[in-house]
Structure 1
Amino acid sequence: MCAAVLTVGLLAVPAQADASGGAAQLHGASWALKGTGKEVRFRGLSAVSRSTAWVAGSKGTVLRTVDGGRSWSDVSPPAAVAEGLELRDIEAFDARRAVALSIGEGEASRVLRTEDGGATWTETFRNPDPRAFYDCLTFFDSRRGLAVSDPVDGKFRLLSTADGGRTWQPLPADGMPEALPGEAGFAASGQCLVSAGPKDVWLATGGGAAARILHSADRGLNWTVAESTVPAGDPARGVFALAFRDRTRGLAVGGDYRTGQPSPQAAARSSDAGRTWSASATPPPAYRSGAAWYPYGPNTALAVGPTGTDVTTDGGRNWRALEAGSFDTIDCAPDAGCWASGEKGRVARLEARG
């Protein structure tokens, strides 16, 4: 099923076209579905380029394309398939190297790594603590990265790697603020933990009395916390995804993931590294679980969720609904290869109208 045409300048647009914060030049573009032959839900996605992308999902499934989605290789880790692991995040460095995270209580939370395009996988972490539940991964570069668990002993727990995910060590909890009662991260799109630059990282939360966003400027050792404007106060509500263009400009999207529930004020923006957040004047019309900045427009970004895709061309102040197709997550590569994935094996790439 073909998606509707996007009437914003998202393809073949020079960066300066959007430099002043105005709308980009109009070039028709739409989500072009790329048949995967699978029916699983892909909540993990990593866009390497317009030609190369990885998706990870339920039943231990990992797919990879190197030809723009014309064909997909099933590179699922055999052990993950055998155990039916829920793979909710994947971070790829190129067409051969990727790190995937499975979620769940105790040993269900694992990290897997491949160096040969998914031909073989190595389990590099298995959670030994039944109280921990890992949600998301992020990498600062091809060596340094973090993984986050829901609170244990009242604080979010972090793992750190300095060798591309080959080994992981827990970070001390001294610099982590106390979690609110019921507060947790959402393993909905692989975007509850995101980074920008060599040291800055942000963590999105929900489920507590407030939907908060935590920031560290030293790769997770010390954190500050700010309340977002996204409503919380319920286990199903909060910030589900973050996207930072650089170390200062960020977007937050979320809402209430329950079908049919209203999600007012489902987006916010920050221009000071997450110290403060302002509600979008015109937010997306419903819950959104994924967000990404578009590389060729400094003020242009996309958000996706089960009921559609939205775009902002003014840095998150105002969002416009574009399509009704269901996606859980989105990622844009530096060459403007934007991909989205979600339920029933859906994967799409943003393409110019032909």
Structure 2
Amino acid sequence: MTSMGKTRRMTAAGLVGAALALTPTAPAGAGEPPATAAGRPAAPAAGERSAPGPGWRLTPTGTDARFRGLAAVDRRTAWVAGSKGTVLRTGDGGRSWRNVSPAGAEGLEFRDVEAFDARRAVVLAIGEGEASRVLRTEDGGATWTESFRNTDPRAFYDCMTFFDHRNGLAMSDPVDGRYRILSTRDGGRSWRVLPNAGMPDALPGEAGFAASGQCLVSAGPRDVWLATGGGATARVLHSADRGLTWTATDSPVPAGDPARGVFGLAFRDRAHGIAVGGDYRKDQPSPRAAAVTVDAGRTWRASAAPPPAYRSGVAWLPHDRTSALAVGPTGTDLTTDGGRTWRTVDTGSYDTVDCAPDGACWASGEQGRVAHLARHRPVL
């Protein structure tokens, strides 16, 4: 989800104003469940269009792929990755999207993309065994190189994150009772499996959710967090040494079922984080669907007024210490107090959200939906 592009600064006031002015849209339904090692996605639900006005502005992608992978580079450049091996890139703020999908990737399910700039990006395909792969481009998607293909049938990779242009990690659901971590030190050109001696045992039934590219996130040069669900409790694992050793902490987000847990994380620094999730089944309630930490994940506190339904993606607004957006199939919620309280500001369907350092925020989801957060009403 994170982009490492060097970008122009935007004031926080403009971003919060745009978020507060999000225009409500008709809900689209929950769509297919996020893939885990225990389940496979169904067909996406029908999409819907945003009403005119400030807020999320849908952009024409020309595809019906579902985009759970999103990387916001800046206000002009973003990448999305999704179903049917589809990767798109825009360089003009979403006015047009170029299909830069890897050749022969139609059978792959991309669930995460990490972009360094308009030319360099890494995408993760999920699935059991060899379906889990990592591909990298250095020419804007004109050509791709496969840098990792999983050969262990027990592994199922879900998410990845980068600390900088060179160092990154990817995570798999538990293998032999512990989460498996891949590491790269050369920008995704090569990968190695880290030793698992410092990884706590997984709970029975526990796994990650490949829902938004945010089940593994980082902040700063060494800190990384891993979100879980499906077990008796929804946990967040933290490493302060780039994935060598981990500690696990229970969160108040409901779990105890394969469809429940923490689906997305966001940290604005190494101390302050937000967790979102719930139950992805559209006929099930999702109480306590958000939680916050102020101590790097050592403790988590349930939001006093959480989002009203399952949320899969979350992002802090840049240059703002208290505001963030959470998205899911039934809407977008805004917090202006660090995640303690949330209010719904849009009812359109999105799976993931990402904001660039220059203040540009993007969201993506089912039926080819990609939108950017407009600051002003356009001149008609």
- TM-score of the superposed pair, with normalisation by structure 1: 0.93
Equivalent of 1:14 in 5, 11, 32: 11
How many aligned residue pairs are there? 336
Q: Tell me the equivalent position of 1:334.
A: 357
Q: Tell me the equivalent position of 1:71.
A: 96
Q: Is the 8 A contact 1:24 1:313 kept in 2?
A: no
Following superposition, the deviation at residue 27 of structure 1 comes to 6.7
Q: Tell me the equivalent position of 2:47.
A: none
Q: Give, in whole Å, the separation in 1 of the partners of 2:17 and 2:233.
A: 35
Q: Is the 8 A contact 1:13 1:297 kept in 2?
A: no
Q: Give, in whole Å, the separation in 1 of the partners of 2:306 and 2:156.
A: 30
Q: Tell me the equivalent position of 1:30.
A: 55
Q: Give, in whole Å, the separation in 2 of the partners of 1:199 and 1:32.
A: 35
| 1:193-212 residue CA offsets vs partner (Å, 9 max, x unmatched) | 00000000000000000000
Following superposition, the deviation at residue 259 of structure 1 comes to 1.2
Q: Tell me the equivalent position of 1:239.
A: 262
Q: Give, in whole Å, the separation in 2 of the partners of 1:144 and 1:14.
A: 29
Q: Tell me the SS of whatever aligns to 1:112.
A: strand
Equivalent of 1:42 in 67, 73, 87: 67
- Give the partner amino acid of 2:70: L
Q: Tell me the SS of whatever aligns to 1:59.
A: helix
Q: Tell me the equivalent position of 2:314.
A: 291
Q: Is the 8 A contact 2:18 2:55 kept in 1?
A: no
Q: Tell me the equivalent position of 1:154.
A: 177
Q: Is the 8 A contact 2:158 2:208 kept in 1?
A: yes
Identity of aligned residues (%): 73
Q: Give, in whole Å, the separation in 2 of the partners of 1:234 and 1:189.
A: 19
Q: Give, in whole Å, the separation in 1 of the partners of 2:243 and 2:174.
A: 15
Q: Give, in whole Å, the separation in 2 of the partners of 1:32 and 1:216.
A: 37
Q: Tell me the SS of whatever aligns to 1:107.
A: helix
Q: Tell me the SS of whatever aligns to 1:131.
A: coil
| 1:185-240 residue CA offsets vs partner (Å, 9 max, x unmatched) | 00000000000000000000000000000000000000011000100000000000
Following superposition, the deviation at residue 284 of structure 1 comes to 0.1
Q: Give, in whole Å, the separation in 1 of the partners of 2:162 and 2:61.
A: 27
Equivalent of 2:156 in 113, 126, 133: 133
Equivalent of 1:51 in 76, 83, 86: 76
Q: Tell me the equivalent position of 2:191.
A: 168
Q: Tell me the equivalent position of 1:90.
A: 113
Q: Give, in whole Å, the separation in 1 of the partners of 2:269 and 2:150.
A: 31
Q: Is the 8 A contact 1:13 1:24 kept in 2?
A: no
Q: Give, in whole Å, the separation in 2 of the partners of 1:40 and 1:14.
A: 33
Q: Tell me the equivalent position of 2:36.
A: none
Q: Tell me the equivalent position of 1:5.
A: none
Q: Tell me the SS of whatever aligns to 2:104.
A: helix
Q: Tell me the equivalent position of 1:219.
A: 242
Q: Tell me the equivalent position of 2:329.
A: 306
Name the CA shift for 1:161/1:25 in 2 (closer, same or farther; >3 Å): closer
Confirm or deny that 1:349 pairs with 2:368.
no
RMSD: 1.5
Q: Give, in whole Å, the separation in 2 of the partners of 1:187 and 1:166.
A: 22
Q: Is the 8 A contact 1:212 1:226 kept in 2?
A: yes
Name the CA shift for 1:269/1:24 in 2 (closer, same or farther; >3 Å): farther
| 1:299-325 residue CA offsets vs partner (Å, 9 max, x unmatched) | 000000000000000000000001110
| 1:141-164 residue CA offsets vs partner (Å, 9 max, x unmatched) | 010000000000000000000000
Q: Tell me the SS of whatever aligns to 1:70.
A: coil
Q: Tell me the equivalent position of 1:182.
A: 205
Q: Is the 8 A contact 2:65 2:366 kept in 1?
A: yes
Q: Give, in whole Å, the separation in 2 of the partners of 1:165 and 1:25.
A: 35
Q: Give, in whole Å, the separation in 2 of the partners of 1:79 and 1:213.
A: 36
Q: Tell me the SS of whatever aligns to 2:105.
A: helix
Q: Is the 8 A contact 1:61 1:76 kept in 2?
A: yes
Q: Tell me the SS of whatever aligns to 1:345.
A: coil
Q: Give, in whole Å, the separation in 1 of the partners of 2:336 and 2:126.
A: 34
